[in-house]
């Protein structure tokens, strides 16, 4: 069974779906791997390393002709036409709406597996790319915040004077938020964190941060470990109660997202106006509208003296490790998708496993 890996073409995407190390492991299991020439260069993986690992280097349309095609990001409309009818495509497919690309995939009877739809169950933890990539995003967001903040993060004492630690607030204690807390603590910041799910308080405090506890009159705990959307009344109360905590912050990192919904507004313009000049907001929800309405997608802007960082692809800023983690997710997924036959590997019925069944795109 052959797998092909095309080069990512989305602007700013530096990751690659398989690394040489994971190619070697997959070829040892009986897969034939083809990699488009130059696919790994932006992540630091040269073509020669893939060849040494057992991959064939491909060019042009050949990189789309595998029985299984593996990508990081959703293909473009013209790229869908290069896929074999009935092939398997594995990628982040942004499946909240069935746009023209997804409709084209379904029309070609592509078995499209959206990595975003891998269920959050114990068996699937090693395949959960949302978690692996969010972990990296949380780390990189703190590095970005430190770069834009014009002061020290930790307490600094010298013969010339001392500086207090930065007060850093993390909004959202999911995978990205918890990694942001851990990273900020390692850098010596005074870290506070808030999440609408009461069960996260213990996790926040276990990392050495102080939990911000608000009484909203309802819980934000949803299914599968995700937060659910609050009522309009609870949202308004949340903004009001959070305002004073946020206005005191030097750095705010927001990670609050609800699947397939606009990002909740947690930082109002009034709060930004109250923050001291030179403060920083890193909005990880920028792609979904932002947790602050002043955030501009894929831009870094200064408003009311506060830097608002709206990057939407933090894993691409750490491409080697992001690619390695993602490739590990892919390898683990592939292992449940095939059986060994007399003449090699055979694709299973993807509806027979709860993981691949849940992750497949279907016509609405």
- Indicate which residues carry an active-site annotation: 120, 125, 128, 131, 226
DSSP-assigned beta bridge partners for residue 209: none
- 361: which 2 tokens? 């795109």
Q: How far is residue 98 from each of residues 77, 110, 249, 303, measured CA to CA in Å?
A: 13, 14, 40, 36
Closest CA to 330 of 18, 5, 3: 18
- How far is residue 306's CA from residue 280's CA, in Å, rounded to a whole number? 6
- Rounded to whole angstroms, the Cα distance separating 70 from 60 reads 15
Contact indicator for 343, 165 with CB cutoff of 8 Å: no
CB of 86 closer than 8 Å to CB of 109: yes
| Rounded Cα gap, residues 274 and 308, in angstroms | 14
How many whole angstroms separate alpha carbon 70 and alpha carbon 321? Answer: 18
Tell me how crowded residue 133 is: count the other CB atoms within 10 A of its CB.
25
Tokens standing for 194?
């808030």
Backbone angles phi, psi at 142, to 5 degrees: -70, -40
């Amino acid at each position: 069974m052959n797998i092909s890996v095309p080069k990512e073409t989305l602007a700013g995407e530096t990751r690659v779906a398989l690394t040489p190390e994971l190619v070697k492991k997959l070829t040892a299991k009986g897969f034939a791997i083809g990699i488009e020439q130059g696919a790994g260069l932006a992540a630091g993986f040269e073509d020669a390393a893939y060849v040494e690992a057992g991959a064939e280097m491909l060019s042009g349309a050949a990189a789309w002709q595998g029985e299984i095609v593996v990508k990081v990001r959703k293909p473009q409309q013209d790229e869908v036409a290069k896929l074999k009818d009935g092939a398997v495509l594995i990628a982040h497919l942004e499946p909240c709406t069935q746009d023209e690309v997804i409709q084209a995939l379904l029309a070609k009877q592509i078995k499209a597996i959206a990595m975003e739809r891998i269920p959050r169950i114990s068996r699937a933890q090693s395949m959960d790319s949302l978690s692996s990539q969010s972990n990296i995003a949380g780390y990189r967001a703190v590095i970005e915040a430190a770069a834009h903040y014009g002061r020290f993060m930790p307490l600094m004492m010298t013969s010339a004077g001392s500086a207090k630690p930065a007060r850093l607030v993390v909004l959202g204690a999911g995978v990205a938020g918890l990694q942001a807390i851990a990273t900020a603590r390692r850098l010596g910041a005074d870290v506070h964190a808030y999440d609408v799910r009461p069960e996260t308080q213990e996790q926040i405090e276990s990392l050495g941060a102080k939990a911000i506890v608000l009484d909203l009159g309802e819980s934000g705990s949803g299914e599968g470990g995700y937060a659910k959307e609050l009522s309009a009344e609870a949202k308004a109360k949340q903004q009001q109660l959070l305002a004073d905590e946020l206005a005191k912050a030097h750095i705010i990192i927001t990670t609050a997202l609800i699947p397939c919904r606009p990002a909740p507004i947690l930082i109002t313009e009034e709060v930004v106006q109250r923050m001291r000049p030179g403060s920083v907001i890193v909005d990880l929800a920028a792609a979904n509208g932002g947790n602050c309405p002043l955030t501009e997608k894929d831009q870094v802007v200064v408003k009311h003296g506060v830097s608002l960082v709206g990057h939407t692809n933090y894993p691409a800023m750490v491409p080697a490790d992001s690619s390695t983690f993602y490739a590990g997710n892919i390898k683990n997924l592939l292992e449940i998708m095939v059986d060994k036959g007399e003449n090699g590997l055979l694709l299973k019925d993807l509806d027979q496993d709860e993981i691949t069944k849940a992750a497949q795109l279907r016509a609405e």
